[in-house]
Amino acid sequence: MRDKTIKMMSVVAMLCLVALGVMSCKKHEPSASTEAPESTETNYSGDSKEEEHDSRILAMQGWKLSSEEVKKLEEKLQANPEDLISRTKVLGWYSQKRFSSESACKARHKHIIWFIQNHPDAQIAGTPEIHLDPVLDKEVYYKAKNLWLEQTEVQKTNAVVLGNAAKFLLIHDSKIAEELLKKAQALEPENPKWPEQLGHLYSLGLARKSAGTKTELASQALRQFEKSSTTTTSDREKFYKLADLAKMAYEAGDLRKAENYANELLAQAVQYKNDWNYGNAIHHGNLVLGRIALKSGDLEKAKQYLVKAGKTPGSPQLNSFGPNMALAKELLEKNEREIVIQYFELCGTFWKRGQVDLNKRTALVRKGRTPDFRANLDY
């Protein structure tokens, strides 16, 4: 039972990392329901921001390969190991197959180790495609970890390598990841991505922290998100950061800031109705305002905000990982079951792949029980 629980925690942690990866790719990432786009002619060297998006697209193209096509690409790699386009595609294919095929899992390990050893600054090396887990991947995780630590010593002035290593270590060695991100931030103090990544590090798993720890970590995350927003010049990028700002302000106990950020998020969303983030803004902005209303004693307003949050059109993230359930859980604690069931029904319009979970949760709520919302308290 203990081993099963540990494995389940590892899977949840992996899903959280994938969710962060999806968020980091932002408008360049297609939704889960779309096919991977066709390849560009750009050579992938891993040196530019555009190539980061190319690397994820290439990995996604790998999902559609046949076994014969993968075999041919492996033969190309034997002749030219530096063919990063082919290597990224086969890595994507093996990543998709790793849970159903032991040989695919081992092949994936081989390519991950190769990237860390030979191209630790490649953009693919900073994505969830490279993620390993100490429970699921056992000794390979520790081999990869040691290789990353060696690379950060050899290339201690390369912020990209430090950042890629930090992403790999984020879930299971967060203290080391924090140190690496702070070093990258010191090297590039005006780069908004380092405080943003530190903010995400501090915000991981807040729902399962004690009250005092949660407030302290949320305050640290808020400071980093605010620093990232301050150094960001693009209005659109600033809009993308508002949900994190609102949520962390709430968790830090600064309800005035949380309300201001949430209202600003909803106000700006009107300008970005065709943006991938529009549905996220509607969802998270209303949830934060609902939690503030509930904490302030206005139960009816909190229920109204829950319904508004459920009426989001969805987004790549919401459609894949599902809605946030923090306000729903808090309303269940007030015995407000019918409004939560209505929320589940609304969420079913965009979270198609979660319909089974929503049905199970609805059945539990009807019986007077509170479901285990797991990672949906964090998303």
**Vertex 337 angle, CA 286 and 359, to 5°:** 90
pTM recorded for the entire structure: 0.85
pLDDT band at 10 (very low <50, low <70, confident <90, very high): very low
Quick one: average pLDDT of 200-215?
Answer: 93
Could you give the CA distance from residue 121 to residue 118 in angstroms, rounded to a whole number?
Answer: 9
Report the percentage of the chain scoring pLDDT > 90: 83
Place of tokens 């830090």: 252
CB 322 within 8 A of CB 315: no
Predicted local distance difference test score (pLDDT) of residue 379: 80
Q: How confident is the model at residue 88 (pLDDT cuts 50, 70, 90)?
A: very high
DSSP 154-194: HTTT-HHHHHHHHHHHTTT-HHHHHHHHHHHHHH-TT-THH
Q: Are 193 and 160 in contact (CB under 8 A)?
A: no
Using alpha carbons only, what angle is made at residue 296 by residues 295 and 300, rounded to the nearest 5 degrees? Answer: 90
Q: Which of 44-53, 103-112, 335-344 has the lowest mean pLDDT?
A: 44-53
Is the pLDDT assigned to residue 137 strictly greater than 50? yes
Query: With 70 as the cut, is the pLDDT of residue 48 above it?
Result: no
The dihedrals phi and psi of 231, each to the nearest 5 degrees, come to -90, 0
* pLDDT tens, residue by residue, 172-192: 999 999 999 999 999 999 999
* pLDDT above 90 for 146: yes
Least confident residue range of 24-38, 65-79, 365-379: 24-38
pLDDT at 343 over 80: yes
Contact 215, 251 (CB under 8 A): yes
Question: Above 70 in pLDDT, residue 255?
Answer: yes
3-state SS assignment for residue 131: coil
Average pLDDT for residues 63-71, to the nearest whole number? 96
Mention every residue, 6+ apart, whose C-beta is less than 8 A from residue 277.
26, 27, 239, 240, 315
Closest CA to 53 of 70, 35, 40: 40
DSSP string across 330-365 = HHHTTT-HHHHHHHHHHHTTT-GGGHHHHHHHHHHH
> Nearest Cα to 172, choosing from 132, 208, 121?
132
What's the pLDDT score for residue 28? 41
CB 268 within 8 A of CB 281: yes
**Span 280-379: which CATH code?**
1.25.40
